[in-house]
Amino acid sequence: MNQASDNRGRVTLRGIRKSFGSFEALKGVDLDIEAVEFFALLGPSGSGKTTTLRVLAGLETPDEGVMTLDDADVTYAQPGERDVAMVFQNYALYPHMTLEANIGFPLKMDGVPKDQIPGLVREAAAKVKIDHLLHRRPGQLSGGQQQRCALARAIVRQPRLFLLDEPLSNLDAQLRLETRVELKKLQRSLDVTTVYVTHDQEEAMTIADRMAVFLDGNIAQVGTPEEVFNTPRNVDVAAFIGSPPMNILKGHLDGTKVSIGDYAFNLPAAVARSPGEVVVGIRPSHIAIAQEGLPASLYLSENLGESMLLNFDVGDQLVKVRLPEVCRFADNETVRLKFDPGHVHLFDPQSGTRID
Ligand SMILES: Nc1ncnc2c1ncn2[C@@H]1O[C@H](COP(=O)(O)OP(=O)(O)OP(=O)(O)O)[C@@H](O)[C@H]1O
Ligand SMILES: [Mg+2]
């Protein structure tokens, strides 16, 4: 049971619903997570990520739906019956115990023979580089060290499923970047299915094999980070992914021709769709300033050090443009914006779904 294997930790969720009072936090979540996958749950605050993770852990019972773990129905199984380990955002370490006792606690609960515990604890602590701190208590550690202790306590049992709820959010920016690299390395070395909750897109994009985008209690899209970034399934995902996300504008489509007001350009290939209104999406880095294009008035420019983020008024809409080099513009200066036709995304104005 404690052996890592390539086929452990397969999860399915089918039609999971969960309400708190009259508020429906999960509105029918379907999900397939494969063995040994690093899977991120990404979405804005309140979208249902933690609730989903708690359903996976058995800390929350769904009102409707089924969860399986390696083909067994575990919908109503207690947390202790699932062989899962969870790292909470606030770490939830026992303050009165040493790190050694904290990390060894799950082994003690599992009835692992006493003489085997110190070796297993040391091994887990070494994996997260805190084996020199085992005699200390949590209060005598930095935030980053406490976070490692919580990780070590979770991995010491080699769980079937490793669940992490925003595990880096209490660390400073520099440490977050370092720790996320180590976490990815650790997950690879452990070969354990990992579900990772974050509202930080960059974190999800860099760390996950695949991710689910949560919006408002539903999963809006599942895919690799590249798939979600390059081909958002609908306007809502498009308007969420990217920092800043895609510009979304009202336009008109006729064959290859897209028009936004008086500005028109041709797509590389015609879209099989009768002429009519469309929603046009384009990322800030796929717009250039040119002689000809969409007239825009500068609202505010932001110097990001290595690049510029320009905010333009276009009619009643705001358009963001990212330029690779720092340059100077005066507020209210009028320029023309040229869209890169190869990077334009189109969506149906009624349903919001992607048009390919
Ligand atoms: N125990 C509870 N009682 C009442 N409402 C709850 C409870 N747990 C969660 N909710 C509500 O359910 C919704 C989803 O919560 P959840 O914690 O899953 O969001 P989240 O995506 O993890 O957000 P965040 O990024 O802020 O952690 C929220 O609106 C939240 O207020
Ligand atoms: Mg949460």
Tens-place pLDDT, residues 10-60: 999 999 999 999 999 999 999 999 999 999 999 999 999 999 999 999 999
pLDDT of residue 6: 65
Answer yes or no: do 207 and 276 share one domain: no
Minimum CA distance residue for ligand 1 atom 28: 46
Q: Which of 20, 41, 169, 218 to mutate to test ligand 1, by most ligand atoms within 8 A of the CB atom?
A: 20
8 Cα–ligand 2 center, Å: 26
| pLDDT at residue 4 greater than cutoff 80 | no
Q: What is the CATH number of the domain that holds 335?
A: 2.40.50.140
Ligand 1 atom with minimal separation from the 47 CA: 21
Domain count, the chain: 2
Q: What is the CATH number of the domain that holds 68?
A: 3.40.50.300
pLDDT of residue 1: 42
344 Cα–ligand 1 center, Å: 35
pLDDT in tens, 265-306: 999 998 889 999 999 999 999 999 999 999 999 999 999 888
Answer yes or no: do 255 and 124 share one domain: no
Cα atoms found within 13 Å of the Cα of residue 98, Cβ hemisphere only: 14
| pLDDT at residue 336 greater than cutoff 90 | yes
50 Cα–ligand 1 center, Å: 7
Rounded percentage of the chain residues whose pLDDT exceeds 70: 98
Minimum CA distance residue for ligand 1 atom 2: 20
Top-confidence residue, 347 or 270: 347
* Average pLDDT score over residue span 219-245: 96
What whole-number distance in Å separates Cα of residue 229 and Cα of residue 242?
7
Ligand 1 atom with minimal separation from the 197 CA: 22
Ligand 1 atom with minimal separation from the 44 CA: 25
The domain in which residue 185 lies consists of 4-236
Domain boundary among 212, 236, 260: 236
| pLDDT at residue 112 greater than cutoff 80 | yes
Q: Which residue has the tokens 């880095």?
A: 285
Ligand 1, CB within 6 Å, residue ranges: 20, 23, 25, 43, 45-51, 199
Answer yes or no: do 223 and 287 share one domain: no
Domain boundary among 236, 254, 278: 236
pLDDT of residue 52: 98
20 Cα–ligand 1 center, Å: 9
54 Cα–ligand 2 center, Å: 10
26 Cα–ligand 1 center, Å: 10
The Cα-based distances of 85 to 54, 157, 158, 260 in angstroms read 11, 8, 9, 51
Ligand 1 atom with minimal separation from the 89 CA: 27
* Average pLDDT score over residue span 182-193: 87
